[in-house]
Structure 1
Amino acid sequence: MMSPLGGGLFLVLFLALVFVVLTRVTRKSSGVQESALDILKKRYARGEITREEFERMKQELKD
């Protein structure tokens, strides 16, 4: 037989676990927004755009 305290303790631990999981999921989805220049640099590094496109887009961002 389980004592009432054991059941209550299990409930508290379960709720704490749910809170931690929800907090982590929320933080990841609302993370720091990258700047347009950071995104542009990553696209260039991955080879998605040429150097000329990179330089043109970078100049447009500065203007």
Structure 2
Amino acid sequence: MNHYGGMHYIWWIVWIFFLAWVFFIPTDIPYQKTKKDSPLDILKNRFAKGEISKEDYEESIKILKSEN
């Protein structure tokens, strides 16, 4: 017979939930302040990834700078 009365099963469950929470915690926690990318940052990233051409990049830079 088990003299713990099943408590060791509860502790196993607690540890499993704790480890799952540590490894699978969401990266976007609502109360954390995250930096939003500016339109210029988004444009630079798209150009760096090759999604837009140099001409499109330069034209978009002119448009964004003229709006400020």
Q: TM-score range by the shorter chain?
A: 0.5 to 0.7
Aligned to 2:16: 14
Provide the identity percentage. 32
Instruction: Name the amino acid aligned to 1:51.
Output: K
CA change 1:29–1:54 in 2 (3 A) is: farther
Runs of 4+ in 1 over 3 A off after TM superposition: 28-33
Other-structure match for 1:39: 42
Alignment RMSD (CA, Å)? 2.6
2:55 is the alignment partner of 1:52: yes
Shifted more, 52-61 versus 2-11: the winner is 2-11
- Higher share of residues assigned helix: 1
1:19 aligned partner, one-letter code:
W
For residues 4-63 of structure 1, give each alpha carbon's deviation from its aligned partner in whole angstroms, at most 9, with x where no partner exists: 231121011122123222x2xx21587643222122112212222222211111122221
Query: Which has the higher Rg, Structure 1 or Structure 2?
Result: 2
Paired residue type of 2:41: D
Unpaired segments ≥5 residues, structure 1: none
